Chains A and B, each alone.
Chain A
């Protein structure tokens, strides 16, 4: 298989670098530094040490027996990224980019965040590595996720409320890029998803592929064969691309990305970029995108702040177009039902993002047989969502 992205950062027609000229040299330098350090054994050693001793990797691949029995015949495994330090897969990438920033001699880091998971991960890494940290967060989100704002502040980060545009994740991303344009000399932008201009989609994928690499090894140990279905939630798509990437050559493994349908893909309130989007340029790369016919970016909607994003990583758009991965929508209600099901059957409260992946398996289960082997990426834990679930259900259980 040809190594992607190509030298222009393209996955087929997707990806690239659509940014103001001021950033171009910084992106080129970042790409060079990435290649230099990624091949440097001492970088890999430092990163492996932190992932193991600090974040607690490797994460288990857990056979969810009661969930499997409840849903039917298939055997369902959960890749427990929720057991990472700070509660989600986001730390894998934040640690790696943090160590890279340090090697590049940059002592200030910035990040964008929606719900706050990537912001918390970045603030954590900045504290650990002794770096200054600014996190851009939509003003709306700072209200919805006040606890995470305090968490970041507790970790020593400055949280900058973003009042432009829709005041949510996409605007936080815009503002982080604008800040980076002004401070490109001494600041490293720790981008949280597999989106943005090249080299970010490639770099984030490679820093998250540890999820898929471990899963592949673990399932071979446990079952002696590869899974039939690998399922992951997708907003920008970092946990999904990390999980999918090591399986791309294994044609027998179905790759299923689950996007947020919010109140339904037939309504105006969803974040179903793959089902309803069209090709366009957004935040530095060519990909599928929720937009109107004049190219204005539309606001997304989902109960899950991590999936509430009108874009998607370019490599996912590529995998969709070559039909190597399939992307399906799941509504808020389906995700909430799946969340409660996992709580009751396994004693695990998943993040609302991850609950979308579980909901997809709930939907698939009736058509699966006893020979089917399923892996779900449980990308994060649900502690952060307990308040919003309570608000949504009015405190009642299903």
Chain B
């Protein structure tokens, strides 16, 4: 059974909502990312999204763009991101990993080789924000064979597309909270509750929400209607603010603690 499914069924029994943090791998360096992943788990994360830095991250706002730029400066690539998963696993991390990557790095890796490597590196799922359902048939076929879940994104503008997007979806459905790119925000799409309701009408797969969720209050609000809450930019910004601490041997633990504290207070 895929680790993501195990996690959601465990949480369902416990009547808990999944906390799904995101981090950009290689920001500020891969070794630190591995340590941060361990902190995320300790802080109560249930699944973690490993962000592959990309030169042209269309779906991302300024915070994650900056993190990508920092990671790319020292040549972090899709392979080093997969290796980070294995390193975190060896360090004792148990939670499922989802690789968050734009499509082009996957394409250049070669689809067959990519799924072999994903499997080898103990990664359970994929999120590809620029691969809509119309373009994903070939990838989905291989993912299914490899038992890797491809998490589909559904937006408030999806409307009549929702049904076809969630049909046969595995793992969970990623609902985009707002029109726009990733980034912290104070208000969400006006009809967001109805939107989540519409998605749930068409699927029994768990439903998570993301894009802009940045504090405990927002996480709690969505915990009531969703099976999972994704927090990205707010964590990446906390990491960004902690970089001076992380890069000094004397204060490194303080930096890691700062990140852990921020994440643990998100867990409702």
Contact = CB atoms under 8 A, between A and B. Distances in A.
A and B together in one complex: yes
Interface of A: 8, 16-26, 164-165, 170, 174, 177-178, 181-185, 278, 280-284, 289, 291, 293-298
Contact of B78 (A184, A281, A283, A294): A294
Contacts of A23: 157
A293 B109 CA distance: 8
B184 to A, nearest CB: 14
Interface string B119-132: 00000000001111
B108 A291 contact: yes
Interface stretch (B158-166, B216-224, B239-247): B158-166
A158 to B, nearest CB: 19
A182 B180 contact: yes
Interface residues of B, number: 41
B154 A21 contact: yes
A81 B219 CA distance: 56
Interface string B171-195: 0000010011100000000000000
Given A178-B61, A184-B179, A295-B108, 17 more contacts: A19-B130, A19-B132, A20-B130, A21-B129, A22-B180, A24-B134, A165-B65, A178-B181, A181-B179, A183-B179, A280-B107, A280-B108, A281-B103, A295-B102, A296-B77, A297-B55, A297-B56
- Residue of A177, A283, A295 most packed against chain B (CB within 10 A): A295
Contacts of B129: 20-21
Contacts of A295: 54, 78, 102, 104-109
Interface in B90-136: 102-109, 129-132, 134-135
A18 B131 contact: yes
9 contacts: A19-B132, A21-B129, A21-B176, A23-B157, A24-B161, A170-B56, A295-B106, A296-B105, A297-B56
Given A17-B134, A181-B181, A294 B155 contact: no
Contacts of B79: 294
A278 B104 CA distance: 11
- Residue of B58, B69, B107, B153 most packed against chain A (CB within 10 A): B58
Contact of A22 (B55, B104, B157, B165): B157
B72 interface: yes
A19 B58 contact: yes
Contact of A177 (B58, B132, B161): B58
B130 A296 contact: no
A253 B8 CA distance: 62
A21 B165 contact: yes
Contact of B56 (A21, A183, A283): A283
B167 interface: no
B42 interface: no
Contact of B132 (A21, A296, A297): A21
A21 B158 contact: yes
Contacts of B107: 280-281, 295
A19 B156 CA distance: 15
B77 A294 contact: yes
B108 A293 contact: yes
B131 to A, nearest CB: 6
B179 A185 contact: yes
B67 to A, nearest CB: 12
B58 A20 contact: yes
B78 A18 contact: no
B197 interface: no
Nearest to A170: B56
A284 B129 CA distance: 11
Given A25-B161, A164-B65, A281 B181 contact: no
Nearest to A294: B77
Given A19-B130, A19-B132, A21-B158, A165 B179 contact: no
B146 interface: no
Given A20-B59, A164-B62, A174-B56, A282 B104 contact: yes
Contacts of A170: 56
Contacts of A16: 134-135
A182 B58 contact: no
Contacts of A174: 56, 58
- Residue of B155, B157, B165 most packed against chain A (CB within 10 A): B157
